[in-house]
Amino acid sequence: MPLADAIPGVTPAPYVWARIHDALQLEAPKRTPPQERKGPWNNLALWHWVGIGASAVAVALLVVVNLPRQTPTPVEAVASYMAATIQQDNGSTG
């Protein structure tokens, strides 16, 4: 950058540094964090217990799904001769 070598250095005025300090808030007092509201979304203990409860329900469902099941034994019905009749209004079989 040979063009920058030809320009002499200039010390800025003291008010410039004061404005930079004010703009960047370099000497500003530290802010205290705002008070946190205890609601359901910000309550870590609530979400801790919700997670434990959901895990317990998931484990219980896995146990129920994987329990051995007894298959019902098929019952064989003895089929006998079956007949149907259709009777007319006068009592004779159709």
Tens digit of pLDDT at every position of the chain (94 positions): 678 788 888 888 888 888 888 888 777 677 777 666 667 788 888 899 999 999 999 999 999 999 988 888 888 888 788 777 788 888 777 6
Identify whether the C-beta of residue 88 lies closer than 8 Å to the C-beta of residue 94.
yes
Predicted pLDDT at 59:
97
Torsion of Cα atoms, 30 then 35 then 41 then 47, to 10° = 90
How far is residue 62 from each of residues 22, 58, 59, 66, 69, measured CA to CA in Å? Answer: 62, 6, 5, 6, 14
**Distance separating alpha carbons of residues 66 and 64, to the nearest angstrom:** 6
User: Model pTM greater than 0.85?
Assistant: no
Q: How many CB atoms lie within 10 A of CB 55?
A: 10
| Type of residue at 89 | D
